Amino acid sequence: MKKIAAFIDFQGTLGGGGIDDIKSLSFYPFSIEALKLLNDNDILVIGITNQSHISKGELSIEEYLQKLEELKAELTVHNAHFDEVYCCPHTDKDNCKCRKPLTGMINMAKKDFKIDISKSYVIGDMGMSDMILAKNIGAKGILVLTGVGKGSLNEFRHTWKDVEPNHIAENVLEAAKWIIIDCNHINEHSSKQA
């Protein structure tokens, strides 16, 4: 049976600023609870992150991996986890297929897990990458107002004007709670049709 996934952006969504490199990232106080809520409800938690600082030579792969391990260790202490994390190290000039809003990281996840994309979610603070990615793959998009989320709705709305998020959440914990409610609604609807 295919699983539901929550594809979650890092900077600006789980912690830190929307465009800082991952070295300075620390989880928002509510982020670990959000991931644990998704874990406890059998939803795949998949991190997706653009890390162009690697391609620019401002962040080494070793530094990225070290920080990722620190974040994973912090989650483990609280009985939460990522099922997987995918990273695009490229800039938009590198012509890769993985940089959000392109679908390369999602395609990798589909190879590694049995995922029902149509019932899955993309959570992020950037409309021009995260919400367009949700549209590109046919998942539900949840824009969070942390990081640059408020700016995405206001001064940067023109960069993704043809896309509407399925939900706007104050933060990733509110997004996770909405996902649980939405999944229960989907399951109730499916049960009634059976």
Q: What's the rounded mean pLDDT across residues 165-184?
A: 97
pLDDT of 189 > 60? The answer is: no
Give pLDDT, residue 16. 84
Q: Is the dihedral of CA 131, 147, 91, 75 positive or negative?
A: negative
| Domain hosting residue 28, numbered range | 5-193
> The whole model's pTM is what?
0.94
Tell me the average pLDDT across 81-87: 98
pLDDT-derived band at 17 (thresholds 50, 70, 90) equals low
What would the pLDDT profile of 119-170 be if each residue is shown by its tens digit? 999 999 999 999 999 999 999 999 999 999 999 999 999 999 999 999 999 9
What mean pLDDT do residues 81-95 have?
95
Tell me, what CATH number does 189's domain have?
3.40.50.1000
Q: What does the mean pLDDT of the chain come to? A: 93
How many domains, in total, are found in the chain? 1
Q: Is the pLDDT of residue 9 over 80?
A: yes
pLDDT of residue 24: 85
